Structure 1
Amino acid sequence: MTENMNDQLDASATFSIELTCPIGLENVLENELHELGLTNTRLGEAQVKLTCDLRGIYLACLWSRVATRVMLPLTHFNMDSADDLYQGVKSIEWSDHLSVHSTIAIDCHGTNKEIRNTQFGALKTKDAIADYFVEKSGQRPNVEKQQPDVRIAVRVKREKVTVSLDLSGDSLHKRGYRQQGGMAPLKENLAAGMLLRAGWSKNSQFSQLVDPMCGSGTFLVEAALISLNIAPGLRRQYWGFKGWKQHDHRLWQQLQDFAKNERVSVDDLTVTFQGTDREQKAIAAARENIKRAGLTGIVEVSLSAFQEHDFSWQGSTPLVIVNPPYGERLGDEMALISLYSQLGYWVTENALGGVCALLTSNDQLARQVPIRPEKHTRILNGGLECRFYLFPVVEGSIKRGDRQQAVMSQGAQMFANRLQKNVKKFKKWLAADKVSCYRVYDADMPEYAVAIDMYDDWAHVQEYQAPKSVDEEKARVRLMEIVTAIPSALNIPETNVVVKHRQRQSGKQQYEKVATSQHEMIVQEHGCDFIVNLKDYLDTGLFLDHRPVRKYIQDNANGVRFLNLFCYTASASVHAGQGGARSTLSVDMSNTYVDWARRNIELNEFSDRDHGVVRADCFEWLRKSTNEFDFIFMDPPTFSNSKKMSNVLDIQRDHVELIDLAMARLSDGGQLVFSNNYRRFVLDSELSERYVVKDITAQTLDPDFQRNNRIHQCWVFQKRG
């Protein structure tokens, strides 16, 4: 059954329109319409229905900061077949809305068992409109997908079909000022809706707006447009109603002229707009958007971390609004705990008397803000379900107490106590041996199954793979407690915590990136410099448990020809060079680690003539080599099935052949140091019959690894005289 709405297009000029909006902002949109004098409204999901005249349509298009589109429904009907769609569309009196010379575009949304894809639905709609005009005049309108004279929307929901004119023509979030965005820019109408939800207005109670992670500046620009009373639709050139037969150009022009005169003078502004971001690309985009919006000199943005920027706090009621990262992966989420906590404390220290408004998809992260939220609103941001929190920064809402204790659970406090105990235990050893990179915790408490390594003032956290019997949510909560406890327990910045999930790796997996942040830093060990990367790979580039092994190599390397097999990043070769080795040769099959090894050698100013690096399968290289070496070190993986190898490596099965090949390259009186980290490894007894073998495992464990004395096993081999 068809319910046509053409009777609303008579001289009374009363229309029933639908304004769509982001989910969660329906009330904000309704309030906005009421302030425009458009009060005949009814709320729906992600929309507000409005009955108004033509002037009301234009006001909504021109002034709504929250609406996404303005739709004029023409008909509703039930559809049991594709032909029902065709007939329902064709029955509309299209000549009331467009001429045969108009260009059209069809947007079809939704499918059912009859309309199985939107392209088919759009095609049936186009055919129906074309046939309507062919029967009337023998001609048909042309299709123009980009900026048609009339845009037609078809919404299919189960058996129900709604056909509408899209009077906005394009999404209303496109204000015309934004050409660029940051990594995840907010849509303009979503940003404006949240500002209005937080209480920002042209007569705002707030003295300033601060966005400490401003990205491309959308919050700042939208807030300034609100304060200056600049109609968001003024910059738009394309409107869907301009090709509509009911369009009144004179009335539209009058409303535009009136809107231009409504702008508040900059001299009358009593609020300020400040933003910071750490990403240069984001700040460049923000400045371009600010310029295009005509707000240069009004909105200020700076390339800086918010903690380091000197904001000009004025008045007693700032609004701090922020869309921080949410953490798509577990490691990212854990690292963000400290960021949210730090943001919350920064707000309490600087914005007392104001409000902090925060959008996030992660409730656990929101709880790290040490302020009790007044309310939160469910909002969809790009299809991701989020919560928009309002935190009143007033005495009664701030969680008082120690900076970290305020958000620490009992479990987190217990974990912090253990970390502090370990640091105290290692203090004398660290000072005596000048160690700055060490393991401070290694699953000391079974329920907190992580390893924590310190690299200067950075904590590298590796979560061990939990047994299937462990509840995932419980493990997740414990990991969050760990990361919450680390900054205060270890006295490091909250942002200096990196979290990874560690499980057994094989083949090329051990060489693959887990991130792309290129977070490199230089650390020192026994007079050597090393490049480490805490974020991009599962391993950092320096095996801390081998620190004593490397020192042993350094102490015994003077004048030797040194061979480093399975060299990884060549840290052992650097120690040999520092110890006076005549030459070093480092062999590994990974392009990544060969390049890393060369950079470590170059960093320590050793010449590539005497300190070479070769990319090769160590087995194949040993079989072909005729060179002789005085000192050989190899620390092979437990297992590798890399395609770069001619065969699969299983260290338990293959270690005899590997050691024999290496010993064939060893000079008389030389030594081979063999190590591996396979905990169930057993050295074949026949090797002791052929060579002099000494187990030095106990001597290669510094205090930070003595609790976990199976972290590796290590032997020295020499030829029998």
Structure 2
Amino acid sequence: MNPNTEVPEQAMYALEITCPIGMENVLEKELHAEGLTQTRLGEAQVKLTTDLEGIYKACLWSRVGTRVMLPIAQFKMESADDLYNGVKVIDWSQHLLVSNTIAIDCHGTNHHIRNTQFGAVRTKDAIADYFVAQTGERPSVEKNQPDVRIAVRIKRDVVTVSIDLSGESMHRRSYRQQGAMAPLKENLAAGLLLRAGWGVDSDLKQLIDPMCGSGTFLVEAALMSLDIAPGLRRQYWGFKGWKQHDHRLWQQLNDFAKNRKKDPESLGIRFQGTDREQKAIAAARENIKRAGLTGIIDVSMSPFQEHEFIVEEAQPGLVITNPPYGERLGDEMALIALYRQLGEWVVKHAHGWPFMMLTSNDHLARQIPVRPEKSTRVINGGIECRAYQFPVTDANIKADAVAQSVMTPGAQMVANRLQKNLKKMKKWADKNKIQCFRVYDADMPEYAVAIDLYNDWAHVQEYQAPKSVDPEKAKQRLFEVVSAIPNALNIAESNVVVKHRQRQAGKGQYEKLDQSQHEMIVEEYGCDFIVNLKDYLDTGLFLDHRPVRKLIQQKADGVRFLNLFCYTASASVHAGQGGALTTLSVDMSNTYTDWARRNIELNEFSERDHAVVRADCFEWLKQSRDEFDLIFMDPPTFSNSKKMADVLDIQRDHGDLVRLAMARLATTGELIFSNNYRRFRLDEDLMSEFDVQDITRSTLDPDFERNNKIHQCYLIKHKSVP
């Protein structure tokens, strides 16, 4: 080269690299490690001035960045026309060809641009009109993977227009399938690992995630240790359609990145994870395979409390995990024992190591018997969380750590009662092949909860405390109950479901509490039932009516059975199991009639002979002319649902209901009438009109002997003609 020839100066670009909130310093540090030092911190972003090679390096090597944005214009907007005009005057020919496909992402609104879709349309029109004026043609819109993606950010009266050089979020590394379990984004996981001290040149030689989920921490840590560029596997980049893209330079940097990869055999690092959920471990193994890390990361389906991790005491390591948070009160209660066990496990097995835990719940974080050194505020899945860093050293382990693992006197008292009750009930339940039963029902008034066992799950319902009870004291007592359950009943802490029970008005009893779709199948006297412990106030099976269902099964042979206010039609299933010719189940709830049909189908009864009807039972009885041999009616205490023609008050209306039901009952038939209103008094006129027998005592099994007012039950027949 002629020494007098000037080397052309490379173009410099002012970028905005976005990242998760709380990870700005980590992002800046990793950019500096790649030689990209002209940086300035912003909120959830780092501003970087660099050349084209720096752009590519940021895209290829940033583990923490979310998007690499190139602002190309900024202007004030005082009307919607200002947005159009400001975009149209940009020299778009520097950035794209008319043959390129484009997509517009608009963020933010103001008085003039009231929705982002309108802002995107005005931007697209301006770009299209620019090219029509230049060439007579317009670029096409492609929403998924356009050649060039354009971002418009509106903040008050200022508009910033940028080229999205990353094209899509850089947390997508291409090793995790879309739609798979993804509670923790890859770039947030990488940022937390870096914040915790993990890295390509770190002295840490062991990494354990005791609740690894789909394995994101483990995969990101292994990619980091192997010095594998996180952008290597991505096929789509926003800059590939950008007019200033240099394909040869990009390819050179890719080739260099491939050569930087370390030999796994020489790493000497152990990556281990466990999770008790089969679905999570299946997703983790698939992600590990897709990331090319099979044989490097070891994951097992096992509770961490029971797993034998291989720990090299002489080698420093890191424990990092993202446990369940418990967004509802009941979840929080159930997770207290889990967090305590996690803390105790860390103290015992990872002494001297750093420990990082991500959670949104400060109360749960305090269950860890180690004082945190620092915490970082982050947003995970739209939830505000904190990443706590615990140095597991003698100086930081709390003095009462051992005491913490011992239950409070109140919790121990509850545990003793539960163990005593379980010992008594288990013999009876096993003898009668009963899988679901009540093991505690406010036996001690200060611990006012009901605890039901559903196989290896505990369903806890807290009764509404009187206003005279201090809410904090009530909450503490509930904590004590929940902390006593796992050991006393030999149930995993994650299998404890807690709900707050209070009087349900109107349609409240039908409304969802959660969206977990947590269903399981239980058996009772030869019948199978779908129960859902989490999503509704009730589970789909009223345990106190177990003897009533058994009675119906015994009486059902050859009868025509009617089930009014059928709920999930468990009584109809028992009638079918007992040999009923037909069953008809009536309820006004879409949720429960659908559930009823699934219960009937589960037990392989035909829809033709075992029908379900959605209707207001009052109105249905008035219109029906059918006759039945056995009727079961268990109305709610009160209902003002919009689906009903009138308000139902069981004390006021039960006389009319019983008479309507008796009008449909065959001469020799039987009506079983039940309700759970504690102050219920049967209409005396009914006793003179019909043959009425109070059978309440005989419809209470041993698990409800303490609560003998949980329901009242009557057997009603027509009076025999003399």
2:107: which partner in 1? 109
* Contact persistence 1:594–1:614 (CA under 8 A): no
Change (3 A) 1:101 1:407: farther
Per-residue CA deviations over 1:294-331 (Å, capped at 9, x if unaligned) read 32332344455545555444454343333333344444
Does the Cα contact within 8 Å between 1:513 and 1:537 map onto a contact in 2? yes
* 1:370 and 1:407 in contact (8 A); partners too: no
Q: Which residue of 2 aligns with 1:375?
A: 374
Q: Report the AA paired with residue 60 of structure 1.
A: A
Range that drifts further, 199-208 or 29-38 = 199-208
Task: Calculate the TM-score normalised by the size of structure 2.
Answer: 0.80
Kindly indicate whether the alpha-carbon contact (under 8 Å) linking 1:229 and 1:263 is maintained by their aligned counterparts in 2: yes
Is contact 1:207–1:314 with CA below 8 Å preserved after alignment? no
C-alpha distance in 1, partners of 2:655/2:689? Answer: 11
Aligned residue in 2 for 1:495: 494
Cα 1:430–1:696, aligned 2, differ >3 Å: closer, same or farther?
farther
CA contact (8 A) 2:451 2:458 kept: yes
Q: Look up the SS of the partner of 1:637 in the other structure.
A: coil
Matched, 1:462 2:461: yes
Equivalent residue number for residue 3 of structure 2: none
CA contact (8 A) 2:131 2:139 kept: no
SS at match of 2:405: helix
> Which residue does the alignment assign to 1:588?
585
Paired residues of 1:570 and 1:586 also in contact (CA < 8 A): no
Does residue 211 (structure 1) correspond to residue 226 (structure 2)? The answer is no
User: C-alpha displacement at 1:34, in angstroms?
Assistant: 1.7
- 1:702 Cα deviation from its structure 2 partner: 5.7
Give yes or no for the alignment of 1:522 onto 2:522: yes
Q: What is the distance in 1 between the residues matched to 2:137 and 2:606? A: 75
User: Alignment identity in percent?
Assistant: 63
> Cα gap change, 1:262/1:681 in structure 2, threshold over 3 Å: closer, same or farther?
same
- 1:17 matched to which residue of 2? 15
TM-aligned CA distance change 1:418 to 1:97, over 3 Å: closer
* Worse-superposed segment, 79-88 or 591-600: 591-600
Alpha-carbon distance, 1:45 to partner: 0.7
Superposed CA offset, 1:450-474 (max 9, x none): 3222345532112345678988887
Give the C-alpha shift of residue 376 in structure 1. Answer: 1.6
1:681 CA drift (Å)? 1.6
**1:320 and 1:356 in contact (8 A); partners too:** yes
Instruction: Report if aligned partners of 1:43, 1:49 keep a CA contact under 8 Å in 2.
Output: yes
CA distance in 1, matches of 2:121, 2:680: 68
- Given that 1:426 and 1:703 are in contact with CA atoms closer than 8 Å, whether structure 2 keeps it comes out as no
Which one-letter code corresponds to 2:36 in the other structure?
A: L
In 2, distance between residues paired with 1:378 and 1:417? 38
Equivalent position of 1:424 in the other structure: 420
Q: Is 1:182–1:282's contact at 8 Å kept on the other side of the alignment?
A: no
Residues 370 and 406 in structure 1, CA contact (< 8 A), matched pair in contact too: no
- Contact residue 556 and residue 580 of structure 2 kept, 8 A: no
TM-score by length of 1: 0.80
The residue number in structure 2 matching 1:80 is 78
Equivalent position of 1:5 in the other structure: none
Letter in 1 for 2:712: Q
Contact 1:573 1:584 in 2 (8 A): no
Q: Indicate conservation of the 8 Å contact 1:439/1:453, yes or no.
A: yes
Taking the aligned partners of 1:235 and 1:418, their CA distance within structure 2 comes to 55
1:25 corresponds to which letter in structure 2? M
Residue pair 2:284, 2:299 contacting (<8 A) in 1 also = yes
Letter in 1 for 2:227: N
CA contact (8 A) 2:285 2:299 kept: yes
CA gap 1:258/1:640 in 2 versus in 1, 3 angstroms? same
Alpha carbons of 1:469 and 1:48: their partners in 2 closer, same or farther (altered >3 Å)? farther
| Equivalent position amino acid for 1:154 in 2 | V
Q: What does 1:163-312 correspond to in 2, within 5 Å?
A: 163-244=161-242, 246-307=244-305, 309-312=307-310
Local SS of the residue matching 1:62: helix
Return the alpha-carbon distance in structure 2 between the equivalents of residues 452 and 77 of structure 1: 63
Shift of 1:274: 3.2
Structure 2: distance between partners of 1:669 and 1:99: 87
Shift of 1:237: 3.5
Stretch of structure 1 that moved more, 220-229 or 176-185: 176-185
One-letter identity of the residue aligned with 1:168: S
1: CA distance between counterparts of 2:541 and 2:638? 19
Partner of 1:142: 139
In the alignment, is residue 678 of structure 1 matched against residue 674 of structure 2?
no
- Which amino acid is 2:190 matched to? A
Distance 1:661 1:203, change over 3 A: same
Distance 1:333 1:247, change over 3 A: same
* Distance (Å, rounded) in 1 between the aligned partners of 2:603 and 2:139: 68
Structure 1's 292 and 545: CA in aligned 2 closer, same or farther, altered over 3 A?
closer
From the superposition, tell whether residues 125 and 549 of structure 1 become closer, same or farther in structure 2 (CA, over 3 Å): closer
Distance 1:667 1:125 in 2: 74
Q: SS at the partner of 2:688?
A: helix
**Contact map agreement 1:553 1:576 (CA 8 A) in 2:** yes
For 2:361 and 2:174, locate their aligned partners in 1 and report how far apart those are by CA, in whole Å: 31
- Cα gap change, 1:207 to 1:659, in 2 (>3 Å): same
Asked if the contact 1:426/1:704 (under 8 Å) is kept, the reply is: no
Q: 2: CA distance between counterparts of 1:666 and 1:98?
A: 80
**Matched pairs, number:** 697
| Correspondence 1:344-359 to 2 at 5 A | 344-359=343-358
Counterpart secondary structure, 1:209? strand
Preserved contact between residue 564 and residue 584 of structure 1 (Cα < 8 Å): no
Question: What is the identity, as a one-letter code, of the residue corresponding to 2:386?
Answer: R
Q: Aligned partners of 2:112, 2:226: CA distance in 1, in Å?
A: 50
| Counterparts in 2 of 1:163 and 1:660: CA distance versus 1, 3 Å | closer
After superposition, the Cα gap between the structure-2 partners of 1:119 and 1:181, relative to the gap in structure 1 and judged at 3 Å, is closer
* Matched letter for residue 519 of structure 2: H
CA contact (8 A) 1:102 1:149 kept: yes
Separation of aligned partners in 2, 1:508 and 1:468: 24
Change (3 A) 1:653 1:63: same
Once structures 1 and 2 are overlaid, which stretch shifts more, 64-73 or 479-488?
Answer: 479-488
Does residue 360 of structure 2 align to residue 361 of structure 1?
yes
- Structure 2 counterpart of 1:62: 60
Task: State the Cα deviation string for residues 335-356 of structure 1 (Å, max 9, x = none).
Answer: 4444444444444454444333
Alpha-carbon distance, 1:22 to partner: 0.9
Give the corresponding residue for 1:6.
none
1:52 corresponds to 2:65: no
Equivalent-residue separation in structure 2 for 1:139 and 1:570 (angstroms): 68
CA contact (8 A) 1:511 1:592 kept: no
- Please give the secondary structure, in 2, of the residue aligned with 1:589: strand
Check conservation: 2:633, 2:673, Cα contact below 8 A. Answer: yes
Which residue is 2:590 aligned to? none
User: Which secondary structure state, in structure 2, belongs to the residue aligned with residue 195 of structure 1?
Assistant: helix
Equivalents in 2 of 1:569, 1:520: separation in Å? 14
Shift of 1:194: 1.4
Provide the rounded CA distance (Å) in 1 between the counterparts of 2:563 and 2:27. Answer: 67
- Structure 2 Cα separation of the partners of residues 247 and 559 of structure 1: 80
> In 1, distance between residues paired with 2:531 and 2:129?
65
- Aligned counterparts of 1:593 and 1:63: Cα–Cα separation in 2: 51
Q: Post-superposition shift, 1:112?
A: 1.9
Query: 1:473/1:382 Cα in 2 relative to 1: closer, same or farther (>3 Å)?
Result: farther
Counterparts of 1:138 and 1:354, CA distance in 2:
64
Please give the alpha-carbon distance, in whole angstroms, between the structure 1 residues aligned to 2:372 and 2:254. 40
Cα RMSD (Å) of the superposition? 4.5
Give the CA deviation at 1:28.
0.4
Contact 1:332 1:499 in 2 (8 A): yes
Distance 1:234 1:652, change over 3 A: same
5+ residue gaps, structure 1, are: 1-9
Return the offset for 1:491.
Answer: 4.1
Secondary structure class of the residue paired with 1:111: coil
Q: How many angstroms apart in 1 are the aligned matches of 2:380 and 2:187?
A: 11
Tell me the secondary structure at the aligned position of residue 21 of structure 2. Answer: coil
